A = this chain, B = another copy of it.
Amino acid sequence: MSKDILSKVKPRDSKHNTNEWVYNSLCQLILTGEFVPGISFTFRGIANSFGVSTMPVREAAKRLISEGALDMSEKRRITVSQMSQSKFDELMIARLNLEPQLSVLALKHIDSKRLKLLINIDKNLDYAISTGNIEDYIKYNYQFHFGIYEAGLSPVLLPLVRTLWLRFSPFYRIVAGRAGTQTLKDFHHSAIDAIIAKDSVALEVAIHSDILEGMEMLNESLNE
C-alpha cells in the first residue's frame, strides 16, 4: 500500500482516537471504491501508510474483517472480500428487507433542512449520472441513502445497513466501464416526492425499487 493513502482520507480529528481514525478512513476507502477487490495489504503496510503503529490498524482491520468487508483467508494477507453469487443474493435480500423499513423509521425525523440537503445531493447525483462519472455517482448515491437513513439515528438497523454497504460498494468499480446508469435517477426523485408528501408507503416503494435497480446493474456486471 502506497504512502499517498493519506491524501485520499480525512485528516486526523482530535475527536477520534487513532484506531477510530484508521477505521473511518478504511471505511471511506472501501465505500468510495478506492479499495478494489483483489489487492492485498498487511497490518504493517497499512500502519506505515497511516504513520501509526500496527496496534490501531489491527483493531480497525479486524473489525472490518468481522463485518465481512475485508478478508484474511488467504494466508497472512488482508484483502477486500471476494463477491460470490450467494453473497450477492443474500446482500440483496438483506437490503430489500431492511433499507425500506429503515427509511420509513427515518421519515418522521427528516426536517426541511435535511430535505434541502437531499435535494442538493440528488442534483449532484443527476450530474454525475449524465456525465458518466462513476466515482461521484458512488459518493452521492451513498450520501443520498444515508442522508435519509441517518435522520432517525436507528441504533440497530443503521449500523447493520452500513455493513451491507461496506460489502458491495467495492464492486461498483466493475460497473465503471458500462453505460447503464441512465435509468437510476427516477427512484431518487420519487423518494424525494414521498418525503415531501410524508408518504411512508411511497418512500418504501421508491427505496425498494432503487435497490432493485442498482443491485441488478451490479449483478449483470458481476456475471459478464
Contacts and interface: CB of A to CB of B under 8 A. Distances in A.
Interface in A142-182: 154-157, 159-160, 163-164, 167
A67 interface: yes
A68 interface: yes
Copies of this chain, whole number: 2
Interface stretch (A45-53, A87-95, A191-199, A213-221): A87-95
Given A90-B154, A90-B157, A97-B101, 14 more contacts: A59-B59, A59-B62, A62-B63, A63-B63, A63-B66, A66-B67, A84-B155, A86-B155, A87-B155, A93-B98, A93-B101, A94-B157, A98-B98, A160-B160
A185 interface: no
Interface residues of A, number: 27
A112 B91 CA distance: 29
A160 B86 contact: no
Given A59-B59, A94-B160, A97-B101, A154 B66 contact: no
Contact of A66 (B66, B84, B91): B66
Interface string A100-119: 01000100000000000000
Interface string A59-71: 1001100111000
A58 interface: yes
